[in-house]
Structure 1
């Protein structure tokens, strides 16, 4: 039976990043049945940096601070782990209920210590297309923007999750 594992992905840099010709490295923790359990909270410049971030997470798992948050714009829940004041891991997806978010955070935390580290980097393409500051949402999601009238500037604070400590609901 396969064990949970950390997979390293090279994703093309976004337009907002300083060196758009470079790829950035992101780690992802997957379960034995290949479901995403979580990912790094930020991109790394090199494979070695990303690998070291995973080793640091495994060694300091008892010191992480768990944060769960409701994204007000979507009404869905996400989680994040902080270590020494820095975000180190985040949920790979959002959840409809707080209890689903907490349950999946626990699955992630259980898998981290026993997970293998896959050697090497896999190439990844960007998923959903997201608007930049100069693009209109209508260009990417015409039906959604017509129905709601959303523009990038209207996302504002409602799109940014507000992380709360467990029990602060």
Structure 2
């Protein structure tokens, strides 16, 4: 099975759902379409994560910037329940954020505390979370862009 970072259909799901909901491209228009999925995974200067629709959602995608920031390899990250990216005291605020996105389709400007694999706390700033809806309206999960972080 092709990992999602190499799957053109998954890239289209990310990019198309983002563009539909936010009215702007996920990848800069200067990046050639044939290179967009690779650019997003390998080169993007911001973190992108996605989780599935399981009752306890698991990350299904994390670009290199996200892997570096959270301290996980692809294989580790894509087995991690997304709730574990926040410390227990911060999980309720994270859950409320996710529920708002379910109702509204997306939310921009989110700030919150997250935790690395090694237990280091950091702040995500100006994050945008959106629903991953395909063109038929089926929900595949949620994705987030984290443009900035800072150590705490």
TM-score (norm 1): 0.26
Higher RCO, Cα 8 Å, sep 6+? 1
Higher helix fraction (1 or 2) = 2
From the CA coordinates, give the structure whose radius of gyration is larger.
1
